[in-house]
Amino acid sequence: MSDIEVFQRAPITDEVLRVEHLKVSFRTERGVVQAVDDVSFRVGRGEVLAIVGESGSGKSVSAMTLMGLTRSPNATISGSARLADGTELVTASDRDLQRVRGSRVAMIFQDPMSALTPVYRVGDQIAEQIRAHEKVSKAAARARAVELLERVGIPRAAERSRAYPHQFSGGMRQRVMIAMALSCSPEILIADEPTTALDVTIQSQILAEIEDLRQETGVAVLLITHDLGVVAEVASRVVVMYAGRVVEECEVHEIFKDPLHPYTWGLLGSVPRIDKVRPDRLPTIQGSPPSLLRPPSGCHFKTRCPHRFAECDREPELRALEPNSVHRDRCHLSLQDKRALRIVDGAIGLPIPVEKELS
Amino acid sequence: MTDVVTSPAGTKAAAALLEIDHLMVMFPVRAGTWGAVVGHVHAVDDVTLTLAEGETLGLVGESGCGKTTLARTLVRLTEPTGGTIRFRGEDLTAKRNKDLRSFRRYVQMVFQDPQASLNPRKRISQIVGAGIRLRGTSKGMKARREVEELLARVGLDPDHAQRYPHEFSGGQRQRIGIARALAADPKLVILDEPVSALDVSIQAQIVNLLDDLQDEFGLSYVFVAHDLSVVRHVSDRIAVMYLGKIVELSSSDELYAQPMHPYTASLLDAIPIPDPDRRRDRRRLVGELPSATNPPPGCRFHTRCPWATDLCTEVEPPLAEFANGHEVACHHPLNVGRTQLSEAIRSESSPRSSGAELTLSPAEAHRVEIDEAQGKDETP
Ligand SMILES: Nc1ncnc2c1ncn2[C@@H]1O[C@H](COP(=O)(O)OP(=O)(O)OP(=O)(O)O)[C@@H](O)[C@H]1O
Ligand SMILES: Nc1ncnc2c1ncn2[C@@H]1O[C@H](COP(=O)(O)OP(=O)(O)OP(=O)(O)O)[C@@H](O)[C@H]1O
Ligand code: SF4
Ligand code: SF4
Ligand SMILES: [Mg+2]
Ligand SMILES: [Mg+2]
């Protein structure tokens, strides 16, 4: 383990968040759901780390745990998530976490309506947020709110700040969320599928706004998405999750040019491409995700992986296959095998299994 | 076009399954303590479309442009304010709720959010069984067997019939929604963002499943989505909506190869490509989103269109129909030559409020810009 450790510590300049061995489980009537199973990753200042992966793989639970939003009597949380100055988020008291939330770590959600209060004016909500963390007058906070709305591209911001959330379109509400998230210049912005419900032109505006702010303020962004096009356009690094675990972590170029985990190959192979000829059928990954109540032993992807072999009953570690590489993956195949196996019909993907596709 | 039949309505030919004629849906906007109506949202504003048997029509457009409202109106979950919907020639808008029962069986809907649309207190067997009951035949053992067969058909374990919706993942819940729709043995299925919340591999499974079911049962689909790559994959034709109106209608391949409406062009331009070497400087749509209660006069896109002229602010462009059925509501369409422009005719599907005559001309100003940007030869 220790020689592997060396490769993992390749430089991330100016680390703002380090998550290590994070585990989150929920007790339910059917048993214990291991939603997050030993997740580790780091985020550097001013970078965009994208988290992609299977629906239900634990992306949102991981992010919400950083904000203390999964704390509940039926949840068990262990591991560590530390900010640059050593503040530990997993064990922090609710009061300390409250202080971190909004001021140092901010989050925007898929559905902005659920995070805004319908009966308060948009500008007042942002001003409240500012005053919760800073000693400023009401008037000053309001003025700041208008400035923030301007910065995220809301036209006639002074006037619009007096509107109620329902008078805004989905895209504008999402911008309000961003304005709110940035009101206290956080070090980290967590964005959980911020554009999934929006059309592509608005998506592109929102992404451009996040990008501008990142460049201006150096905020680090943790971006959860299932759109690999979005990943290609805005991410610096990528973490791929499958059934509660990180299965691959690398630079954005590598995920598209040199992906090492079979699940990642399947994901890339499934994307319908607007820039390519349309195929008769979309390639898929056979089968369905494993139950988190009783995940398979060994590699979690084993039940669906066409490349599995005897070794896969043993749990693979997340490790780099080349010395000094920051590209890590969790699979027993050798690097040589991976590079040969991942090409299917001239592109990256998984071979179509002989069995029936849906089973 | 060999199997041209005359529909009972006696009008359009070519076995139209669904004919939407000048459909309008307006929602009252209320304000103040007494809820006085202060205006209307023109959610669907004079839309005319047809759908052939076995066809898939894609429906795309800006958030809030009226896609869901149109979809819901087709299954009569929302009442139209005006216009007609004919299913196999029968006017549905004239029917009362009671008479709609037999029709409901033929037109089913799959909702965007499977979590919200499946009753959490009902078992899967009850949810899917409700569709079977719409057909009114099978009961007891026979119905149970049918439920199990359907679950297997959509790739679920028949043993799951006794479970509740929350025990399934997002992708599995979407399959349940599809099984419920299929149970009624429909002819037409309206799919509102059926794969938007799912990861790409599950998305691909659902898309392939829909493909198979279409072949097997001869289904027609109306497929609403934000993801233009998915829409292109599934659709025969695509309708683009903007602020309650159809602005472009074309075969799927041609829409992507030759978008004519500036809004369509900006949509296509905004699609993120999963290839980091092709990171582009996104050209952003500027200008303010117009209000749906008080839409701009003339062309509704003129507040944001880079190629708008004075004409655009005054006259609503009718739908211009080109040789291969490609229709566009724009005074200055993109990607067409002068000859094509001169041969276009005013489509019968044009909104009533639009100009009585076609006034097409290439926008000279934008042509220069595009040619420089793409290094293309000038179109004659
Ligand atoms: N409070 C809870 N109690 C029990 N199980 C939970 C709870 N919250 C989440 N889960 C389960 O944990 C798993 C991970 O969920 P999570 O929301 O993190 O998935 P995700 O990766 O964000 O998926 P998606 O892409 O669909 O949003 C899921 O199987 C979910 O059902
Ligand atoms: N019940 C209602 N009452 C009042 N206004 C409504 C109602 N339902 C929808 N609207 C409005 O009608 C317009 C069209 O909404 P619709 O939900 O059809 O849009 P959409 O195209 O499906 O958008 P999205 O892509 O965001 O789902 C919007 O301006 C919306 O605010
Ligand atoms: S460890 Fe085995 S089963 Fe898992 S991804 Fe690698 S080859 Fe497939
Ligand atoms: S009619 Fe005018 S404003 Fe409308 S899309 Fe065409 S060029 Fe733009
Ligand atoms: Mg999630
Ligand atoms: Mg909708």
Of B63, B196, B274, the CB nearest to A229: B274
Nearest CA to ligand 1 atom 12: A35
Q: What is the pLDDT of residue B288?
A: 63
Q: Which residues contact B305 (CB under 8 A, 6 or more apart)?
A: B262, B263, B287, B299, B312
Chain segment A84-128, per-residue pLDDT in tens: 999 999 999 999 998 898 789 999 887 777 778 888 899 999 999
**Residue A203: its chain B contacts at CB < 8 A?**
226, 270, 272
pLDDT at A339 over 60: yes
Rg (CA), chain A: 21
pLDDT at A8 over 50: no
Any B CB within 8 A of A347 CB: no
Q: How far apart are CA A301 and CA B327, in angstroms?
A: 47
Q: How far apart are CA A135 and CA A149, in angstroms?
A: 20
Length of chain A: 359
Sequential DSSP letters for B217-283: HT-EEEEE-S-HHHHHHH-SEEEEEETTEEEEEEEHHHHHHS--SHHHHHHHHTPPPS-GGG---PP
Q: Which residues contact B33 (CB under 8 A, 6 or more apart)?
A: none
Sequential DSSP letters for B319-379: PEE-TTS-EE--SS-SS--HHHHHH-EE-TTS-TTS-SS------HHHHHHHHHHHTPPPP
Q: How far apart are CA B360 and CA B354, in angstroms?
A: 13
Nearest CA to ligand 3 atom 1: A331
**A313 vs A181, which has greater pLDDT?**
A313
User: For chain B, what percent of residues have pLDDT higher than 70?
Assistant: 86
Which residue among B199, B202, B203, B206 has the greatest number of ligand 1 atoms within 8 angstroms of its CB, and so is best to mutate? B199
Q: What is the pLDDT of residue A316?
A: 96
Between the alpha carbon of residue B170 and those of residues A243, A284, B335, the distances in Å are 14, 16, 40
**What is the torsional sign of CA B248, B249, B250, B252?**
positive
With b meaning 16 or more CB within 10 Å and e meaning fewer, what string describes A105-136? bbbbbbebeebbeeeebbbbbbbbbbbebeee
Chain segment B171-226, per-residue pLDDT in tens: 788 889 999 998 888 999 999 988 887 888 888 888 998 999 999 989 999 999 88
Structure tokens at B68: 């869901």
Structural domains present in chain B:
16-28+41-243 (3.40.50.300), 292-378 (no CATH)
Structure tokens at A271: 């994307």
pTM to 2 decimal places: 0.86
Q: Which residues contact A40 (CB under 8 A, 6 or more apart)?
A: A19, A20, A21, A22, A246, A318
The tokens 């920051």 sit on which residue? Answer: A326
Q: How far apart are CA B286 and CA B68, in angstroms?
A: 25
Closest among A78, A71, A73 to A94, alpha carbons compared? A71
Confidence of residue B5 (pLDDT cuts 50, 70, 90): very low
Q: What is the pLDDT of residue B372?
A: 44
Confidence of residue B368 (pLDDT cuts 50, 70, 90): very low
Structure tokens at B175: 């399959």
The answer to which of A165-169, A249-253, B18-22, B77-81 has the lowest mean pLDDT is A165-169
Chain segment A128-156, per-residue pLDDT in tens: 988 888 889 999 999 999 998 888 778 78
User: For chain A, what percent of residues have pLDDT higher than 70?
Assistant: 94
Closest among B238, B230, B226, B190 to B208, alpha carbons compared? B230
Q: How far apart are CA B114 and CA A236, in angstroms?
A: 33
- Amino acid symbol at B21: D
Rg (CA), chain B: 22
Closest among B252, B341, B290 to B55, alpha carbons compared? B252
Q: How far apart are CA A37 and CA B146, in angstroms?
A: 39
Q: How far apart are CA B221 and CA A16, in angstroms?
A: 48
A23 phi/psi in degrees, rounded to 5? -130, 135
Beta carbons of B196 and A197 less than 8 Å apart: yes
Structure tokens at B54: 């076995």
Q: What residue of B is the nearest CA neighbor of A205? A: B284
**Nearest bound ligand to the CA of residue B297:** 4
Q: What is the pLDDT of residue A44?
A: 93
User: For chain A, what percent of residues have pLDDT higher than 90?
Assistant: 52
Residue from B200, B206, B215, B304 whose CB has the most chain A CBs within 10 Å, to mutate: B200
Which residue among B302, B313, B367 has the greatest number of ligand 4 atoms within 8 angstroms of its CB, and so is best to mutate? B302
pLDDT at B17 over 90: yes
Chain segment B246-301, per-residue pLDDT in tens: 999 999 999 999 999 999 999 998 888 888 887 666 556 666 667 777 888 999 99
**Nearest bound ligand to the CA of residue B174:** 1
